[in-house]
Amino acid sequence: MEVTVKPLFKHSLFFVLLIAFAGTSMVSCTSTEKKRAKAERKQHELDSLALVYDPAQADGRIDAFMQRLHSRSGFNGNVLVAKQGKVLYQNTFGWADYLMKDSLAITSQFELASVSKPLTATGILRLVEEGKIRLDQTVDEFFPDFPYPDVTIKLLLTHRSGLTNYLYFTDKKEIWPDQRKGMSNAEVMALLAAHKPAKYANPDVRFFYNNTNYMVLAAIIEKVTGQDFAVYMKENVFAPAGMKHTAVYSKAVYEKIPTGVIGHDKVWRRSVVQNFQDGPVGDKGIYSTVQDLYLFDRALRDGRLLKPETLDSAYAGYSKPTKNVFNYGFGWRTYETDNHQVVYHTGWWHGFRNIYVRDITKDITIVLLTNLANGSLLHLDELYHIVDMPVIRQGAYSTEGEYMAE
C-alpha cells in the first residue's frame, strides 16, 4: 500500500504567523495596560499633591470666620477652601451622628442633595461627547410611553422641561403604597407613564427648577448604557476624577444607606430617617466629601472629564438671568460679571444642606457640606470677601445686579 505524505509547510507557516501575531497582540495589550497603569499612578500622585494641607499654614481669616459660623450660626459639617491649586483651609465642625456623638472626619460622606446635579450632568455630557446621545433627543425616544412630548435632554439639563416635580406627585399612598420600600428611577418613570400628572408648563417656555429633570437624566443614562447609574458614574466620572470616597446610594438598593453621617433638620433632636424618596437618584443620592468635590473641580479644569467646548456650553446660561447675574447652565447655577465667571450649586434634602462654588476665572473653590439643615449657609458673605470673589446668595443683588450687604 502506498502512503502519501501531505506537505505541511503551508500549515506550519500559518501557525507560526498566528503565534507571532498573537504574541505581538499580547505585547501590545500588555504595553497599553502598563501605560494606563502608569498614567493612573501618576494621576493618583497629582491628586494626593492637590490635597496636601498643613493646618499650621491655614488661612487665619478663614479659620476665624468658620469658628464664628460654627459657634454663632450653628454650622455643623465640613469645609474646604482652595485657590489657584492650593488648599487654603479645610476643617470639620461637630457631629456626624448627634445621638451617637460621633465626630466628623474630613473624609466623611455627605448626601450631596442637589449638588448631585453637576455630577449627573457631567455623566450625560460624556455620553454626548461619545456620540451615544444627542442634546436634541427627546425622552420618548428612550422611553416610548413617556407621556410628555418634545422634552429634550437639553431642556432637562437646563430645567426648561416644564415637568412636574415627582417628589410632590409620589408622596401619596395611592401612588406608592409601601413607603418603606425605596423607588427606583425606572419605577418613577413607570409611575409618570401610568398616572400622567399635570405638567407645570409646556417645554422650553420658562425656567422651572425641579428634581424630575435630573431623575429622568439618570434613567436615560441607565437605558443607554445598560448599567446601573451608580456603576456608570463610578466608572465614568468618579474614578477618572480620583473621587475615591464618592458613591451613589439608593434606598431601592440599600435597606440602610451605608454612611455614618446622619442628617438633622434644624435642631439636633430631629434626625431625619431616609424613606422611599431616597430611592431615585441623579437629582440627589450621590454621597461625597469636601476633598472629592475639590478633586472633581481639578478634573474638570484639567480637561480629564469633558472637552473645553463642552464645559463652555455647560457654564453658559439658558434662561433669563435673575437679578441680572444669576442663570442656569447644564447642571450648574451660574453667576457672570465682567471679572468673574462663577458656577455653583446648592443642595437641601433630608437633613443635609450644602453649597459648592467654583470661580472659574480666579480658580477658587469653596465646598461646605452640612448635616444640620439650619440657616448657617446663608451667612457666607464674609468668606466670599476674604477669598476675593462675588457673594453667592439669594437676595444679595438688586434688580440691576448691584450687591447689597446683608
Distance of CA 233 to the CA centre of its chain: 9
Task: Answer yes or no: are the C-beta atoms of 317 and 334 closer than 8 Å.
Answer: yes
3-state helix, strand, coil in the chain (%, to 5): 40, 15, 45
Cβ density class 360-380: b for 16+ within 10 Å, e for less: bebebbbbbbbbbbbebbebb
Check: CB of residue 362 under 8 Å from CB of residue 335.
no
pLDDT average, residue stretch 194-221? 97
pLDDT for res 266: 85
- Bridge pairing between strands 86-93 and 77-83: antiparallel
Residue 251 counted as domain residue: yes
For all residues of the chain together, what is the average pLDDT? 92
pLDDT higher than 50, residue 18: no
Q: What percent of the chain has pLDDT over 70?
A: 93
- Residue 24: pLDDT band (50, 70, 90) is low
* pLDDT at position 3: 45
| Domain interval for residue 308 | 109-337
Q: 99-103: long-range contacts (C-beta < 8 A, 24 or more apart)?
A: 99/262, 99/271, 102/260
In one-letter notation, the amino acid at residue 155 is: L
Per-residue pLDDT, 299: 98
Give the bridge partners for 335, in sequence order. 326, 342
Rounded to whole angstroms, the Cα distance separating 359 from 106 reads 23
Determine the pLDDT at residue 269: 77
Query: How is residue 156 written as a grid cell?
Result: 432637562
Neighbours of 400 (CB within 10 A): 8
Mean pLDDT of 370-394: 96
Question: Is 214 buried (19+), middle (13-18) or exposed (0-12) by CB count in 10 A?
Answer: buried
Task: Note the pLDDT of residue 39.
Answer: 77
Q: Provide the CATH number for the domain around residue 248.
A: 3.40.710.10
Give me the sheet containing 77-83, strands edge to edge: 86-93, 77-83, 364-370, 352-359, 341-349, 333-336, 326-328
Considering the domain boundaries, does residue 323 fall inside one? yes
Backbone angles phi, psi at 63, to 5 degrees: -60, -45
Distance CA 281, CA 107 (A): 22
Instruction: Spell out the residues 6+ positions from residue 246 whose beta carbon is closer than 8 angstroms to its own.
Output: 109, 238, 286, 287, 288, 289, 292
Residue pair 160/207 in contact by the 8 Å Cβ criterion = yes
404 within a domain of the structure (yes/no): no
Residue 192 lies in a domain: yes
CB 329 within 8 A of CB 314: yes
- The pTM of this model reads 0.91
Asked, for residue 238, whether it belongs to a domain, the answer is yes
pLDDT in tens, 267-305: 887 789 899 999 999 999 999 999 999 999 999 999 999
The predicted structure's pLDDT at residue 43: 86
Residue 295 within a domain = yes
Q: What is the pLDDT of residue 25?
A: 61
**Tens digit of pLDDT for each residue in 131-168?**
999 999 999 999 999 999 999 999 999 999 999 999 99
Is residue 72 situated within a structural domain? no
Number of domains in the chain: 1
Residue 60 has pLDDT above 70, yes or no: yes
What's the length of the chain? 406
Mean pLDDT over residues 27-36, rounded?
Answer: 75
Q: How far apart are CA 306 and CA 124, in angstroms?
A: 11
Q: Which three cell numbers stand for residue 301?
A: 479644569
User: What pLDDT shows up at residue 8?
Assistant: 45
> Is residue 59, in this structure, part of any structural domain at all?
no
CB 393 within 8 A of CB 376: no
